[in-house]
């Protein structure tokens, strides 16, 4: 079941975190972090990358302070990792998921 949440920053922007089922691993999840002006814009950024059925219902899994720091310090403002529960895996830029031309 997809889960997610958001947190509003002092400057008015938001960080949205979504956990979606992994297309590769059985039972695994992929955690996406998006920094945007508002929640709608964050979801639009994910939908424009091909994740069409992405919705944020509620605030059950908001981003942790470490996740907020990671996405704010990345120039694209869009990160992912495949194992949110494991601290060993680092965050990857979204370009790592997109096909290279």
Over residues 57-71, the pLDDT tens digits come to 889 899 999 999 999
Per-residue pLDDT, 95: 76
Contact 17, 59 (CB under 8 A): no
Burial of 10 (0-12, 13-18, 19+ CB in 10 A): exposed
The model's pTM is: 0.85
């Amino acid at each position: 079941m997809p889960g997610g949440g958001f947190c509003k920053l002092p400057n008015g922007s938001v960080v949205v975190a979504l956990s979606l089922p992994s297309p590769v691993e059985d039972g695994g999840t992929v955690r996406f972090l998006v920094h945007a002006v508002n929640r709608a814009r964050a979801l639009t950024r994910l939908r424009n990358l091909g994740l069409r059925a992405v919705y944020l219902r509620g605030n059950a899994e908001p981003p942790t302070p470490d996740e907020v720091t990671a996405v704010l310090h990345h120039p694209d403002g869009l990160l992912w990792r495949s194992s949110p529960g494991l601290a060993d895996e680092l965050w990857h830029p979204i370009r790592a998921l997109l096909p290279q031309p």
